Amino acid sequence: MSKMCFNECIDIKMKKISFSYFLLCIGLVESVALLALSGLLREETDDFISSEAQYMDNENSTGVPIIVYSGEDPFKCKDFDVYADNVKVLSVKSMAQAFAALVAVFFVFNIAYPKSMLKTLTFLQKVFIGLQDSLKKPQPVVTLLTNLNRH
């Protein structure tokens, strides 16, 4: 193999590694933003997402749809499951897909958002996913949108 060909191969490999790292960083930022959203709206993250171990221990007696991840760290997880009524409804590969799937499960099965998740799920539904309904946006959602639009 010529030195030029070798350098081109190395350059291509480095670009692939850089792109993979870039995608990983985007996924991490996306995950942090989604989890921070519930904090901005003063809701508990634990109401939306749980580790598999916690979920199995608690048995989610309410049956409210929830995201369940494998392992100890949702930021390192590559598989997310959405449960409804204690049944796994679907599996996805990213936290963003999991949150979209969570909203979809509520929407498709016509389950009302619990009060503890109302603001975050309404924000996701109306702003990110674009599903509109006849319900008003809660005031904290309107305030957050107003503040985000200012910047």
pLDDT surpassing 90 at residue 136: no
Distance CA 117, CA 139 (A): 14
More confident residue, 12 or 42: 42
How much is the average pLDDT of 106-117? Answer: 90
More confident residue, 140 or 89: 89
How many structural domains is the chain composed of?
A: 1
Domain that holds residue 116: 3-150
Q: How confident is the model at residue 80 (pLDDT cuts 50, 70, 90)?
A: very high
Q: What is the pLDDT of residue 146?
A: 81
The CA-based dihedral angle spanning residues 109, 29, 73, 60, taken in that order and rounded to the nearest 10 degrees = -20
Distance CA 129, CA 103 (A): 9
Q: How confident is the model at residue 59 (pLDDT cuts 50, 70, 90)?
A: low
